[in-house]
């Protein structure tokens, strides 16, 4: 069995796409890690009977609740699908090249602390970029850094708004994140 931890703390549209993509794989067991007890993602995964761990800052940074859970479940890959807190060093060290994040821009552009959600697309619009896209990368102790695994681009036209840019980027995320995750899982 390949045990995969999906970390999500918001709407969970990417988490759900990944879970749906692997629905027929009996060799994969997903766990959901979430830092908000009222996150929409927890509602969305209900039909899939996925065990979840809800945790707070202390569980991640001060005690070993999260790390112990990952070890107990023998997690092979951590997939950050809309998880915005920094990964603590002990978790990075316990999972070398086993933590991947998706970011809604072409890193290193438009990344870093505070760059998430619509803020990214507003910054892309304000900078008059001709293109934007997605980055899937291994995670380190810094926001939105770490070796890039995959990028995909889309055009930004002069009439695009942050909202229309967000839609284009989300199409790329939903298409590619499950496929890249599949490649990484198949290597485990
Ligand atoms: C996604 O767009 C993802 O790229 C972004 O959070 C969103 C989560 O959406 N992550 C970051 O900005 C990380 N810095 P979702 O909850 O609908 O999957």
Over residues 56-107, the pLDDT tens digits come to: 999 999 999 999 999 999 999 999 999 999 999 999 999 999 999 999 999 9
Over residues 28-46, the pLDDT tens digits come to: 999 999 999 999 999 999 9
Distance 102 CA to ligand 1 centre (A): 7
Distance 93 CA to ligand 1 centre (A): 24
Which range of residues forms the domain containing residue 70? 2-186
In the chain, the largest separation of any two C-alpha atoms, in whole Å, equals 51
Instruction: Tell me how far apart the alpha carbons of residues 88 and 98 are, in angstroms, rounded to a whole number.
Output: 14
Token couple for 25: 């794989």
User: Best mutation site among 34, 104, 111, 169 for ligand 1, i.e. most ligand atoms within 8 A of its Cβ?
Assistant: 104
102 lines ligand 1 (CB under 6 A): yes
2 lines ligand 1 (CB under 6 A): no
What is the number of the ligand 1 atom nearest to the C-alpha of 120? 12
The CATH number given to whatever domain includes residue 135 is 3.40.50.170
pTM: 0.97
Residue 143 has pLDDT above 90, yes or no: no
What is the number of the ligand 1 atom nearest to the C-alpha of 116? 12
Over residues 156-181, the pLDDT tens digits come to: 999 999 999 999 999 999 999 999 99
14 lines ligand 1 (CB under 6 A): yes
Phi, psi (deg, nearest 5) at residue 90: -60, -30
Q: For the chain, how many structural domains are there in total?
A: 1
Indicate if the alpha-carbon torsion angle 3, 4, 10, 12 is positive or negative. negative
Catalytic residues: 103
Closest CA to 51 of 34, 36, 27: 34
User: Best mutation site among 102, 177, 180, 181 for ligand 1, i.e. most ligand atoms within 8 A of its Cβ?
Assistant: 102
């Amino acid at each position: 069995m390949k045990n995969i931890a999906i970390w999500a703390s918001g709407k969970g549209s990417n988490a759900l796409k990944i879970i749906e993509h692997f629905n027929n794989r009996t060799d994969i067991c997903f766990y959901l890690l979430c830092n908000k007890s009222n996150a929409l993602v927890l509602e969305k995964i209900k039909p899939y009977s996925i065990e979840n761990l809800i945790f707070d800052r202390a569980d991640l940074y001060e005690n070993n609740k999260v790390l112990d859970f990952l070890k107990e479940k023998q997690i092979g890959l951590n997939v950050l699908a809309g998880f915005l807190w920094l990964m603590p060093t002990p978790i990075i060290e316990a999972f070398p090249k086993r933590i991947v994040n998706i970011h809604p821009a072409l890193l290193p552009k438009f990344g870093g602390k505070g760059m998430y959600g619509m803020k990214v697309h507003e910054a892309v619009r304000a900078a008059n970029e001709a293109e934007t896209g997605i980055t899937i990368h291994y995670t380190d102790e810094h926001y939105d850094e770490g070796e890039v695994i995959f990028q995909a681009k889309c055009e930004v036209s002069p009439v695009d708004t942050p909202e229309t840019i967000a839609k284009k980027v989300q199409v790329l995320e939903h298409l590619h994140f499950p496929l890249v995750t599949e490649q990484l899982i198949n290597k485990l």
